Chain A
Amino acid sequence: MDEILKIKDVYKSFGEKKILDGLSFDVPRNSVFGFVGRNGAGKTTTMKLILGLYKADAGEIFINGKKVKYGQNDTNKYIGYLPDVPEFYGYMKPAEYLRLCADITNIPKEKVDDRINEMLVMVGLEKDNKRINGFSRGMKQRLGIAQALLAKPELLICDEPTSALDPAGRKEILDILKAVSEHTTVIFSTHILSDVERICDNVAILNNGRIAWNGNIAQVREMGGNKSFTAEFASNEDMNKALNAIKTQNIDIVKLEMKDSNLEKLFMEVIGNETD
């Protein structure tokens, strides 16, 4: 079976408001799948339907070929889920929370300690042995990934994992997602398009309750990739030379954009220096 997740003609409304209007798409195994849409497009609703937390008005969802049923959570054993704002019991320490999760997911007892350590190291929380109450948003997001991956699920679903984070936190999360995609299929929703380009293999764009576009990220690159590129020069001098070269060759430039300051880069450099 090629697809880990299959969504077929799903409809869902809340009262008068139609959220999903015949949504269909497949997610191939061992890929990073970007699920893109505007705020309120129905990304979270779709994820909650996949998890059996909402009941679809019509349509079917299959995980590993098994049908998802509302209220029952048989199919959830294949899934690790990271909610948009993960909430934990604030009075627990991260290792204690992961132990609770391990017991609930029935991870073999002799493996629990190793697994918890492995996860804490992976998300970089091994030294933060304090109550979750005192955690920052980024730390909670990382603990969220740890709990989602604890049982080594075949499918990891992340709901806007990077939206609420600063650039440094975003990069960390994206790096972790990219790393785990070696053995896990990752679906993540976002409205930050650069994140998708950074790590995704496949993209689906959700609009008006349907998939407006679905395909490979390479296809996206091909669409405009042959005609445009971004270049970064080491110095102003080099840049002027390059521009001169273009001029002397009589090449037409349709659009030229100057980046006066690369804020993101600056930000990363400044805080990078602090943490080093």
Chain B
Amino acid sequence: MKRAVVLMAAFCFIVAMGGIAFAADTLETAKKKGVLVAGVKDSTPGFGYVDEKTREIVGYDVDFVKAIAKKLGVKLELKPVTSASRMPQLVEGNIDIIAATMTKTAERAKQIDFSNTYFFTGQKFIVKKGTVRSLADLDGKRIGTAKGSTSEQNAKKALPKATILSFDDYPQALLALQQGKVFAVTTDESILANLLGKAPNKEQYEIPDIQISDEPYGLGMRKGDKNFVAFVNKTLLEMEKSGEAKRIFDKWFGPNSQTPLKRNFKITADK
């Protein structure tokens, strides 16, 4: 009996501790622990992927959270997440910030807070060369993408008659395209350009100029974590001003990179 009471008390204590750690402000806890845990993609070339030589996760997203951790004066810990797992991971407190090619949507903004837009792109398609001239050529076809992404939802809206096949991640979707299992792969142009850049016999494929949505990327933080959101936004604006944001863009998507893109945006404060 006595033991049961002690166990119960211990259990309540642990639960209460968990509750406290949870409610606290990330800025404070990160400083106290000396570490910021960021959820990043590990198989999305350009944004978050494992470097072949160093075996470390690198990319545009990674460089941004690196800069934030540096500004905060703490160590950065990277945790791989998928499109489907990143929001639950954040809400449950396994990670402190999401930097995983995440589009800002009103639906998501109900669950988490977003930073200022730090990357801007649009959703397009990869197809076999010469097979697609307009959006109509894609309707009724089998289209591949990744689970839990906005790409899936946009594609359903833009192509109501198409069959959308969702794979675990984009490389599998591309493999399905190369094997003729899907007619096109759809997601944000930046991701597509990188996928294509690494694909074998890439000259057989192209990204036609058909855009079905705007995709502003934001860093995700827990809802109501006001100080941390303000800190991140301030850091992003400073990075834009100092030119660091542009340097990071050029490193991954500049004219000399594997997948040159145009930087048609600047980091500004959200209205």
- Tell whether A pairs with B: no
Binding site for B on A (CB under 8 A): none
